[in-house]
């Protein structure tokens, strides 16, 4: 899962990147370099599985972050930056809410003007394609979808607002449209002790768009991330925070992307996998390996709670909590899956 940290220059992207990954990438405007990092998603259920199985390897879900530098000025999204953003599965837009000695922060205006840039970029891609399709008439269905997209953008609405079926989404997936990507807003706050409040205009805009806003103070969170676990707890308690930014962020990202966790386990490896809510057993198999999806026969499913209580697969089988499901079974959060396949 690739998450792009985007926003205008100096909004606090690299600082957030450091807070999430625990890295020490240089902050300051104009460090025109992309920073890449991953975090493992802590998972108490996976820890419990590993405690029971004592596998050689325990593999957590990983989130990959790319801190994409913002250019200067208002038209900051050059083709190279846009190209990088297009590769991402989800976007986090950082909005400056702190004073930097220059222009006072205007979170809501900043949010809108960045959104405009993304919409403009989408419009350029769409218009070009529409023009071609009108000429060569090769794909009337796609043309229809893109015309609906263009109408919406002309009304200053991001494409996320458009009700597209899964099939329609697939038909235009190749364009990697930016305002179709799931988006989380992060408001970077002053380093004083004031409560983390999202100002009214920004929260109204976010509500209108159905977006969540996560307020945080980047430099403080980056400092916390750099501490060891014990010091971290003391520091957080001092600040009245329950969890570091990374943990809050992971929850927000899972809910934004509508993800659930399922598990596979054995003597070799205990592993957590992320999956879109509503996905089937074959989708889960495909997440693990394309061979498993291709040769899928059935899946044996045990709920994490049952396995944790009973301790072995044999006991789960004997007590009737191990189920055999077919390819259309909808995977639930916390399912432990053993996929039977034949290729």
Ligand X SMILES: Nc1nc2c(ncn2[C@@H]2O[C@H](COP(=O)(O)OP(=O)(O)OP(=O)(O)O)[C@@H](O)[C@H]2O)c(=O)[nH]1
Beta-carbon neighbour count of residue 265 at 10 Å? 23
What single-letter DSSP state applies at residue 280? B
Q: How far is CA 1 from the centre of its chain?
A: 7
Q: How far apart are alpha carbons 245 and 221 in whole angstroms? A: 6
Got the DSSP string for 302-330?
EEHHHHHHH-SHHHHHHTT--EEE-TTPB
Q: Single out the segment in contact with ligand X by CB under 6 A; choices: 79-87, 186-194, 199-207, 257-265.
A: 186-194
Per the structure block, which two tokens stand in for 98?
């702190």
When asked if residue 86 is in the footprint of ligand X (CB under 6 A), the reply is no
Q: Strand, coil or helix: what is 94?
A: strand
Q: Is 14 in the site for Mg ion (CB under 5 A)?
A: yes
Provide the sign of the torsion angle of the four alpha carbons 195, 196, 199, 203, taken in this order: negative
Q: Which stretch binds Mg ion (CB under 5 A): 5-13, 101-109, 180-188, 194-202?
A: 5-13
Report the nearest approach of ligand X to the CB of residue 76 (Å): 8
Residue 24 binds which of ligand X, Mg ion, none (CB < 5-8 A, kind-dependent)? none
| Dihedral pair phi/psi, residue 206, rounded to 5° | -65, -45
Residue of 189, 206, 224, 292 interacting with ligand X (CB under 6 A): 189
Instruction: List the interface residues with ligand X, window 207-236 (CB under 6 A).
Output: 217-219
Tokens of 339: 């996929």
Question: From the list Mg ion, ligand X, none, which binds 123 (C-beta under 5 to 8 Å, kind-based)?
Answer: none
- Binding track, positions 18-37, relative to ligand X; x by CB under 6 A: ---------xxxxx------
Whether residue 115 contacts residue 161, with contact meaning beta carbons closer than 8 Å, is answered with: no
Q: How far is the CB of 11 from ligand X (least distance, A)?
A: 4
Long-range contacts of 42-50 (CB under 8 A, 24+ apart): 42/247, 42/250, 43/261, 43/272, 45/261, 45/263, 45/272, 45/304, 45/308, 45/334, 46/263, 46/270, 46/271, 46/272, 48/304, 48/308, 49/263, 49/265, 49/270, 49/304, 49/307, 49/308, 49/336, 50/270
- Among residues 61 and 189, whose Cβ is nearest to ligand X? 189
Angle at 44 between CA 38 and CA 47, to 5 degrees: 85
Provide, rounded to whole angstroms, the least separation between the CB of residue 35 and ligand X. 9
Does residue 12 bind ligand X (CB under 6 A)? yes
One character per residue 95-114, x = contact with ligand X (rule: CB under 6 A): ---x-x--------------
- Dist. CA 272–CA 263, nearest whole Å: 5
Is residue 11 a contact point for Mg ion (CB under 5 A)?
no
CB of 28 to ligand X, least distance (A): 5
Nearer to ligand X (CB atom), residue 31 or residue 148: 31
Told to check if 4 binds ligand X by CB under 6 A, we report no
Tell me: does residue 13 bind ligand X (CB under 6 A).
yes
15 binds Mg ion (CB under 5 A): no
Q: Which is nearer to ligand X, 26 or 210 (CB)?
A: 26
215, 187 contact by CB (below 8 A): yes
93 binds Mg ion (CB under 5 A): no
Q: Which stretch binds Mg ion (CB under 5 A): 14-22, 109-117, 140-148, 311-319?
A: 14-22
Among residues 190, 266, 278, 311, which is the contact residue for ligand X, using CB under 6 A?
A: 190
Please check whether residue 181 is in contact with residue 166, taking contact to mean a CB–CB distance below 8 angstroms: no
Contacting residues toward ligand X, per CB under 6 A: 7, 9-15, 27-31, 69-70, 98, 100, 188-191, 217-219
Contacting residues toward Mg ion, per CB under 5 A: 13-14
């Amino acid at each position: 899962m690739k998450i792009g940290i985007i926003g205008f220059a100096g909004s606090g992207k690299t600082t957030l990147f450091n807070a999430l990954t625990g890295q020490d990438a240089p902050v300051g405007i104009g460090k025109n370099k992309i920073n890449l990092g991953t975090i493992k998603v802590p998972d108490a259920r996976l820890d419990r599985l590993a405690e029971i199985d004592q596998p050689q390897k325990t593999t957590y879900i990983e989130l990959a972050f790319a801190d994409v530098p913002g250019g200067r000025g208002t038209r900051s999204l050059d083709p190279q930056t846009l190209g990088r953003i297009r590769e991402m599965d989800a976007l986090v837009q950082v909005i400056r809410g702190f004073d930097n000695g220059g222009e006072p922060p205007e979170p809501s205006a900043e949010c809108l003007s960045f959104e405009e840039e993304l919409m403009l970029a989408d419009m350029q891609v769409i218009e070009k394609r529409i023009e071609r399709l009108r000429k060569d008439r090769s794909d009337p269905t796609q043309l229809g979808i893109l015309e609906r997209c263009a109408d919406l953008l002309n009304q200053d609405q991001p494409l996320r607002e458009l009700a597209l079926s899964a099939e329609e989404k697939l038909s235009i997936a190749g364009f990697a449209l930016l305002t179709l990507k799931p988006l989380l807003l992060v408001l970077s706050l002053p380093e004083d002790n004031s409560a983390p409040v999202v100002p009214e205009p920004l929260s109204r805009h976010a509500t209108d768009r159905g977006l969540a806003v996560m307020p945080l103070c980047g430099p403080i969170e980056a400092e916390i991330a750099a501490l060891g676990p014990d010091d971290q707890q003391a520091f957080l308690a001092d600040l009245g925070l329950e969890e570091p930014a990374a943990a809050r962020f992971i929850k927000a990202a899972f809910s934004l992307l509508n993800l659930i966790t399922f598990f596979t386990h054995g003597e070799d490896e205990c592993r957590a996998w992320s999956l879109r809510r509503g996905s089937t057993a074959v989708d889960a198999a495909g997440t693990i390996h394309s061979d498993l999806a291709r040769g899928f026969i059935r899946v044996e499913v045990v709920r994490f709670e049952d396995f944790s209580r009973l301790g072995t697969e044999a006991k789960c089988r004997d007590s009737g909590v191990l189920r055999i499901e077919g390819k259309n079974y909808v995977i639930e959060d916390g399912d432990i899956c053993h996929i039977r396949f034949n290729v």
